[in-house]
Structures are given as C-alpha cells and as structure tokens.
C-alpha cells in the first residue's frame, strides 16, 4: 500500500491492501514457497471479520473468468470456501465479554492457487476448541451459536426431531449465561448454517447427524443422578433425558447410563467395572459432552472427507 499511487489522497483501503498483498503472496509463493499471511491479535480486534473479507476477496478475484462445478451435489470451490465460514462460526464462535462473535478455536486456512492465479483447492485445519464452554459459561457470555440457532425455531422440524423445546432455559448446559445477543439474529444464522452445509456437500444424513449430536448434548445437561442409600454409588434419578440423548445418538439408554455409573476401566491386561459417586458421574457426563462436541466440530470443520 505504501507504494500505491496517490496513496496520500485516500485513507488506507482494505481492498487495496488485499490487492497488493494478494499479488505479492502469489508471486512469493512461487518464488520462495512462503505462506501468505497470518493474523495474531487480541480478542475483538477483528480477526474473524477480516479473515472472512480476505477469503471473500481472494475467492472472487481468483474465480474471475468462470467457475467449474465439479460435483452436482456441492457448490463451486469458491462457494465452498466462502460458505465454510457460517458452519465454522456456528460451532466455534460464541459471545464473550468483549466480542459478540468471538472465535473460540483456532483455524488455519490454506487457499491454493494455480500458476494463472486461479483457485485450485483449499483446506482448513481447526484446533484448540474451548471445550469448557460447552458445559459452563460466565453470566455475561453465551454458549456456542449453534445451540441457539436450533432453538430459534427457524426450522421447526428440528425441534421435533431433537425432542426439544424452543426455550433455552430448559437446558442447563446452555442457559448459565446469556441466551440472546442483540447483534445476532439466530433465526437467520440457522438458515445460513443449514445452507452452508448444502454448499459444502453434506448429505442429508450427515446434516441430521450433526443436529442430532447437538441436541443430544443439550439433553446431557438435564440428566440427573442421586446417591444410593448407604452406598457411595450413583444411580439415575429418572431416565427421560438419558432416553432422549441415547435415542439421538443411536445408543441404548441403559447402556449409556451403565457406562456413566459403572464404567469399565483397564487394570493391567484386564477390564474391570468400577462404581462412581454422583460427583464422578457428573464429571464423566461433562467430559462426554465436551468430547462429542469437539469431535463433531473437528469433523465438520476440516476432517470430514
């Protein structure tokens, strides 16, 4: 930008910066193989927004001259690169004290160009998801956007399929902090997320699988346990939430509860069953919820083939 003509006649322009950096990045990649750029800033500085603008800019410029749609069930490569953002943000972004749409994970995006400067491929790596947010939020923060998108009732069929209501306060894992964000329309965002799944080539079964796992996690937070009389052993205090979560995950409810209350552990070369107290069961349940959410996010964000 410093070498641009008439640079002192206008304030710095994001698009001008992208034009010069993009041309330099492509040239540099072919001459010395260095990656083009990375963003490192404090929370709320604009990394997420400007990363989206960078991707949209490069996709539109590199696609000039026409796009080839290789798979009838997917969007063009340029569309897929752009539409990856709504899906990633739904599962990886949340309201924090400083930012209504804060990325709670890291992502490394590679966009590959051919010798002519056209897009040839792209891949995304996601890592370091803030798993603790799945089961706990501060009073002025919020859980991940996807939960509230589903509860927005923009797609009523999801509520029926997931056996849930549209009231976030019915689910303890997602109602410890804020449940609405003034700057975010959860209904519109759900439609954008669902559309992004289609552009990215998710099959109907894959989409429903993602929604079902998300719903199962909401039911996890409603599972109750109590201590057996005269024993330091937990047992279910009702099975309704367990039945719903097990159904959504394709599991047997009794097996799920048995795994939580009487897990099998390896001792030497053998597996033995051990009893757990109430606190231990809740800890295991939270760990299960966080693990399921993390693996689902990683799969949808980059590991899905």
232/190 Cα distance (integer angstroms) = 44
Phi-psi region of 42 (alpha: psi -120 to 50; beta: other; left: phi over 0): beta
Answer whether residue 219 shows pLDDT above 50.
yes
pTM of the model: 0.84
Q: What are phi and psi of 193, to 5 degrees?
A: -65, -45
Q: Name the residue ranges covered by the structural domains of the chain.
A: 47-220+290-300
Answer whether residue 2 shows pLDDT above 70.
no
- Which residues neighbour 86 within 8 Å (Cβ) at sequence distance 6 or greater? 189, 192, 193, 195, 196
Q: What are phi and psi of 144, to 5 degrees?
A: -65, 145
| Residue-wise pLDDT tens digits, 232-267 | 899 999 999 999 999 999 999 999 999 999 999 999
Average pLDDT, the chain: 85
Helix crossing, 47-62 with 77-92: angle to 10°? 170
Query: Do residues 52 and 143 make contact, with C-beta atoms less than 8 angstroms apart?
Result: no
Q: Is 277 helix (H, G, I), strand (E, B) or coil?
A: coil
169/66 Cα distance (integer angstroms) = 48
Tokens for 219, please give them. 């039911």
252/245 Cα distance (integer angstroms) = 10
Virtual CA dihedral for 240, 246, 171, 87, nearest 10 degrees? -160
Give the pLDDT of residue 10.
60
CATH H superfamily, domain 47-220+290-300 = Kinesin motor domain (3.40.850.10)
Residues in the chain: 305
| Residue-wise pLDDT tens digits, 30-63 | 444 555 556 566 666 677 777 777 777 777 766 6
Q: Look at strands 234-236 and 225-227 and give their pairing.
A: antiparallel
């Amino acid at each position: 930008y410093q070498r641009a003509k008439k640079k002192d006649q206008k304030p710095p322009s994001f698009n001008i910066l992208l034009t010069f950096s993009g041309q330099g990045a492509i040239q540099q990649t072919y001459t010395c193989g260095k990656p083009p750029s990375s963003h490192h800033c404090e929370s709320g500085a604009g990394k997420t927004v400007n990363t989206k603008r960078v991707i949209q800019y490069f996709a539109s410029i590199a696609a000039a001259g026409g796009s080839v749609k290789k798979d009838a069930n997917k969007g063009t490569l340029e569309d897929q690169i752009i539409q990856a953002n709504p899906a990633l943000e739904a599962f990886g972004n949340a309201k924090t004290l400083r930012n209504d749409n804060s990325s709670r994970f890291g992502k490394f995006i590679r966009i590959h160009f051919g010798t002519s400067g056209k897009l040839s491929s792209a891949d995304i790596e996601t890592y370091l998801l803030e798993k603790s947010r799945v089961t706990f939020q501060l009073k002025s923060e919020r859980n991940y956007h996807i939960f509230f998108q589903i509860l927005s009732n923009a797609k009523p069929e999801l509520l029926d399929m997931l056996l849930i209501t549209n009231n976030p306060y019915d689910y303890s894992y997602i109602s410890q902090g804020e449940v609405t964000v003034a700057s975010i329309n959860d209904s519109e965002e759900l439609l954008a997320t669902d559309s992004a799944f289609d552009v990215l080539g998710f099959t109907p079964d894959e989409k429903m699988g993602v929604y079902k796992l998300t719903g199962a996690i909401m039911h996890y937070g409603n599972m109750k346990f109590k201590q057996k009389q005269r024993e330091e052993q937990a047992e279910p205090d009702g099975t309704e939430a367990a039945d719903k979560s097990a159904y959504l995950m394709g599991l047997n409810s009794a097996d799920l509860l048995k795994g939580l209350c009487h897990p099998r552990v390896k001792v030497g070369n053998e597996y033995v069953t051990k009893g757990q107290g109430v606190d231990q069961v809740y800890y295991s349940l939270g760990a299960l919820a966080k693990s399921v959410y993390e693996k689902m996010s990683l799969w949808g964000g980059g590991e899905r083939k």
